[in-house]
Every structure is written in structure tokens, then in C-alpha cells.
Amino acid sequence: YAREEFAVDADALRPYFELDRVLTEGVFAAATALYGLTFAERPELARHLYRPGIRVFEVTGEDGAGVGLFVADLFARPTKSGGAWMHTVRDMADALGERPVVFTTMNVPAPAAGRPALLTLDEATTLFHEFGHALHGLLARGEYASLTGTNVPRDVVEFPSQVNEVWLREPSLLAAYARHVESGEPLPAGTLERLEAADLWGEGHRTVEYLGAALVDWAWHSLTEETVDAATADPAAFERRVLTEAGIDPDLVPPRYGTGYFKHIFGGGYAAGYYSYVWAEVLDADAVEWFREHGGMTRENGRRFADELLSRGDTRDLLESYRAFRGRDAELEPLLRRRGLADAAA
């Protein structure tokens, strides 16, 4: 539908997202502009890793001090788990004098010999996203590893990574890295606007199906000894009642995950926490509006975000950190505007 209605063909965009260029002139360039970081490749370290094709970068701050190591394991392999993620093999810990070693792992199809690796727009977005997690680890400050970096409550951990996604479409940055791999031409005029319009299509449905699933999660994990037997006697009826009482017609908009296959909350660590995705986006959308109100991708703005949020980890209450950054609590309206739902909520 998006291809026809908005003239967006995701496959046709691949030549504009060459992996090395997205990484160095997009992801790293944004981190330099915002946080003063520089990245020097260390192939002699990569030779000691478990597979060829993995890249290691030494990360340095603007004062010349070492920040840590960033490892990019981006290509698919037959024995590799699917998906994309960030993990650390060493967290920041001032008490031990240790600096972080942070991995970003993806499963980009490896190109043929001598050919560049080309990303889909979704893969480019994922790279920015996972590097946002990496920045959370690299910019951490604190005595104890258990309180630094991404060692934060689940409903906050996606916040920095979602903020970092936004820089993928920053016009000045996009003009630098999103160029045709053969001709060097930039993205055709209007592409970004069509992509944004396509993103908004169906957003109301996606929002309600997600919130429905979050409400069902809360309902199951709010049961008491007195109410659990009645709910489990007919789970489908219980789910329908929860949704109907919230004003959602489950026949029109079923929850994204029904009770019978909701692995997140019954076996995936998200019990009573499926809401965390949208809460992180509330923080993200509100924070991004602050960036835009204050000049966008600038060093001053990045310093404030790093000092008050990224560096703090779980060393102070996360809402306190957010207030220190934003000057107030997060508001819902920026997320509604981002999703094209502000008028509907008025």
C-alpha cells in the first residue's frame, strides 16, 4: 500500500544506504556532533575476535581521553542468532578503573566479494537505534557497573536508543551519508516527506492495538487471589471485558498480542511491563521536541543530554534525571503529534 499510495519503494532506496557510509558519516558523525566523540578503527584488535568481518573502534572524547571500545558485528552468519541487539562485555565502573566495551550486533546480509553492503531503510534505522544503546554504555559514568549504562529499569532502557533513531532523518546528516552508492547523488527530492507520510498511515490502529495489549498485560498481573480463578476460567472472556471496559472494540482492533500467545508477558520478562515501549516513546518524543526547540543536533544539546541522562544510568531516579534535562515532566502531546493523532485527541 505504501508503495502505491506514497510512491515509496523500500527496495529502491537500498543504493542510498551503503553500510560503511551510514556507519561513519551518519551514526558516528551524529555522535561527534552531539557528544564530541571520535572513532578510530583498530583492525589489529579485530584480528583477535571470534569471526572475520567484525570491526573494532577506539572511542575518544573531545578532551582526548579514552572513552571505551565499540565493536560492530553487523553481518549475518549461519550460526548467529537472528535480530539486532546491543550488549556489553565490560560495563563502565570508575571504582575499578574500567572503561566500557560495547557491541552492536545485527544480521545484515553479507555482500558478494568486492561489493558494498546496502541497507534497507529499516536496517539503517536499526543501526542508529542499536548505537543509541551503545552510546548509553559508552557515555556512562559511575562507580559501579550495576548502576551504569543500560542497567536501568526496563521502561526507560529504550528511551536513549529511540532518541538516537531521530538523527537518521536529520536533513544535514542525511544529505551527507544517504547518497547513491554509484552516482553519489542524494536521495531524490521529496523522499523523506513521502516516507514520513507512509509512516503515519495506519498509526491510529497500531496505537490502539498496542495499548490494548498493554491493558491486557496489566489486567492479568493485577489479579488477586479472589479474582484469579474467574479470569483463568475463561481467558478470552476476561480479555474481551478488559478491552471493552477501556473503550476498545476487540472485533475492530484486536490487541497486538492475545492472551494465548503473549510471550512477552508470560515468558519474555515483560510481565506488567509491556507498556514500557510506549512510555519510552513518550520520553523520546518529548525529548526530541526539546532538541528541536533548542537548535537540534548541537554539541551543547548533546552535552546536556549526556550529562543529565546518558551518563547517569541508574545512579539517580530516572524521572529526576529527565526533569533535570527537560526542566519538567514528560508530556504526552509530542507523541500524539509525532503519530499524527493530536487532532483526534483534542
pLDDT band at 2 (very low <50, low <70, confident <90, very high): low
What is the average per-residue pLDDT within 106-118?
94
The per-residue pLDDT for range 39-53, each reduced to its tens digit, is: 999 999 999 888 888
* Mean of all residue pLDDT scores within the chain: 92
Is 90 exceeded by the pLDDT of residue 267? no
- Whether the predicted pLDDT of 333 surpasses 60: yes
- Grid cell listed for 104: 552492536
Q: Tell the burial category of 132 from Cβ atoms under 10 Å away from its Cβ (0-12, 13-18, 19+).
A: buried
Stretch 12-21: mean pLDDT: 95
Task: Please give the average per-residue pLDDT across 160-176, as a whole number.
Answer: 94
Active site residue 158: no
Strand partners, 41: 57
Query: Model confidence at 311, in pLDDT bands (50, 70, 90)?
Result: very high
pLDDT value at 67 more than 90:
yes
pLDDT value of residue 92: 66
At 24, the pLDDT band (50, 70, 90 cuts) reads very high
Is the pLDDT at 1 greater than 70? The verdict is: no
**SS3 annotation, 6-19:** CCCCHHHHHHHCEH
| Per-residue pLDDT, 287 | 98
Q: What is the pLDDT of residues 201-216, one digit of tens each?
A: 899 999 999 999 999 9
CATH 1.10.1370.40 boundaries in the chain: 14-187
Backbone angles phi, psi at 316, to 5 degrees: -145, 165
**Average pLDDT of the segment spanning 121-141:** 95
User: What is the average per-residue pLDDT within 73-90?
Assistant: 92
State how far the alpha carbon of 61 is from the alpha carbons of 58, 64, 103, 234, in Å: 10, 5, 18, 58
Dig out the grid coordinates for 53 from the structure: 568481518
| Spatial separation of the C-alpha atoms in residues 139 and 307, rounded to whole Å | 9
Architecture of domain 14-187: Orthogonal Bundle (1.10)
Given the residues 130, 165, 239, 281, select the one marked as catalytic: 130
pLDDT exceeding 70 applies to what percent of the chain? 96
Is it the case that residue 343 has pLDDT exceeding 70? yes
DSSP string, 131-175: HHHHHHHHT---S-GGGSTT-S-HHHHTHHHHHHHGGGG-HHHHH
Contact assessment for residue 299 and residue 34, using Cβ atoms and an 8 Å cutoff: yes
Range 309-332 average pLDDT: 95
